């Protein structure tokens, strides 16, 4: 499908059984709310999972930033909920204030093997600590943000906050870098994501994180795990378990989608807008599994 296709034609090709998105970081200047709003307008689904770090409470506590496009993203999510999409919100570490609304016994129930009962419902959106999703081809997927498996966040929150500040600085550079690229006619390219891939320590940390999530899913009898948190979209098998990270909407602008036959794919929305900043089209960028 090409960029000249009318909007309705694009939308009809972007209808999925399930969509997973995470790490939107609304409330920060780094949030690519323009791409995200386009994505939410051009897609429809039966189920939408918001897999944590939707609103960045850490950053908002330090300085307030919220523009009209951030409002638009929330409006579009609520529209999905109003028009029949089953929306499930799983808080992450940056929106940890939402976790305070959940039952106090939640951590013990999580460890016991899942938490589908109870929880909250706000404006038609289910709020859960984690969830189970069964694909159309009967694969059981554990869905959670993943910060509990990041040793930096789990054991040293102060160090994590320091790292968050450095990461925010990198995103500021990334924003100005891409503003210059647009003026010169070049497509969007994530400098911050590229820098992260060059640091051996970061690559090793990502590998350990992925192995830990896959191991947890295997321990609890799931066929796979869907997570976010590390801003690194990935789809691969680890020890017989499917590891699925839906990425983020700060660096890579990616989503995980399930087709109606159960196939799972990663979509890179920024890459699809490479030469047309405000004219999205849909194409999978990872082999379906």
Give SS3 for 49.
strand
Residue 241 lies in a domain: yes
pLDDT for res 61: 80
Lowest mean pLDDT among 62-76, 96-110, 138-152: 96-110
d(CA 126, CA 103): 14
Residue 25 lies in a domain: yes
Q: What is the mean pLDDT of residues 54-73?
A: 88
Length of the chain: 289
CATH of the domain at 264: 3.60.21.10
Write down the residue that tokens 């983020």 correspond to: 248
Q: Could you give the C-alpha distances from 23 to 87, 91, 141, 185, 248, in angstroms and in order?
A: 16, 10, 19, 28, 5
- Residue-wise pLDDT for 106-150, tens only, equals 443 344 334 444 567 888 999 998 999 999 999 999 999 999 887
pLDDT for res 145: 95
d(CA 215, CA 243): 10
Residue 2 lies in a domain: no
Angle at 27 between CA 22 and CA 33, to 5 degrees: 60
Residue 127 phi, psi dihedral angles, 5° rounding? -110, 125
Give SS3 for 87.
strand
Residue 139 lies in a domain: yes
DSSP code per residue over 206-270? HHHHHHHHHHHHHHTT-SEEEE-SSS--EEEEETTEEEEE---TTTT-EEEEE-TTS-EEEEEHH
Give SS3 for 41.
helix
Q: Determine what percent of the chain is predicted with pLDDT higher than 90.
A: 49
What residue numbers bound the domain in which 57 lies?
7-272
Q: Is the pLDDT of residue 55 over 90?
A: yes
Confidence of residue 44 (pLDDT cuts 50, 70, 90): very high
Among 12-16, 144-148, 199-203, 277-281, which range has the highest average pLDDT? 144-148
Instruction: Report yes or no: 31 and 59 within 8 Å, Cβ to Cβ.
Output: no
pLDDT for res 289: 73
Residue 128 lies in a domain: yes
- Write down the mean pLDDT value for the chain: 79
Give the chain's domain count: 1
Q: Is the pLDDT of residue 47 over 80?
A: yes
Residue 277 lies in a domain: no
Residue 286 lies in a domain: no
Confidence of residue 205 (pLDDT cuts 50, 70, 90): confident
Residue 102 lies in a domain: yes
């Amino acid at each position: 499908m090409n960029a000249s296709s009318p909007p309705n034609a694009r939308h009809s090709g972007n209808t999925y059984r399930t969509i997973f998105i995470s790490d939107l970081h609304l409330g920060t200047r780094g949030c690519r709310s323009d791409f995200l709003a386009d994505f939410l307008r051009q897609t429809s689904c039966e189920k939408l999972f918001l897999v944590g770090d939707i609103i960045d409470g850490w950053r908002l506590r330090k300085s307030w930033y919220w523009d009209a496009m951030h409002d638009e993203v929330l409006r579009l999510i609520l529209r999905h909920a109003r028009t029949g999409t089953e929306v499930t919100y799983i808080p992450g570490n940056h929106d940890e204030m939402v976790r305070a609304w959940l039952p106090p016994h939640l951590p013990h129930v999580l460890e016991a093997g899942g938490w589908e009962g109870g929880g909250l419902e706000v404006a038609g959106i289910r709020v859960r600590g984690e969830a189970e999703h069964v694909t159309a081809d009967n694969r059981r997927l554990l869905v959670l943000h993943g910060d509990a498996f990041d040793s930096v966040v789990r054991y040293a929150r102060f160090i994590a906050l320091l790292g968050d500040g450095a990461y925010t600085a990198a995103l500021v550079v990334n924003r100005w870098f891409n503003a210059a690229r647009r003026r010169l006619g070049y497509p969007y390219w994530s400098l911050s994501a590229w820098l992260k891939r060059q640091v051996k320590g970061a690559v090793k940390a990502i590998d350990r994180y992925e192995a830990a999530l896959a191991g947890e899913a295997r321990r609890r009898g799931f066929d796979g795990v869907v997570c976010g948190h590390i801003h690194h979209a990935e789809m691969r098998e680890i020890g017989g378990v499917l590891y699925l990270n839906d990425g983020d909407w700060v660096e890579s602008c990616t989503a995980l989608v399930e087709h109606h036959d159960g196939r799972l794919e990663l979509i890179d929305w920024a890459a699809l807008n490479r030469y047309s900043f405000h004219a999205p089209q849909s194409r999978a960028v990872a082999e379906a599994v």
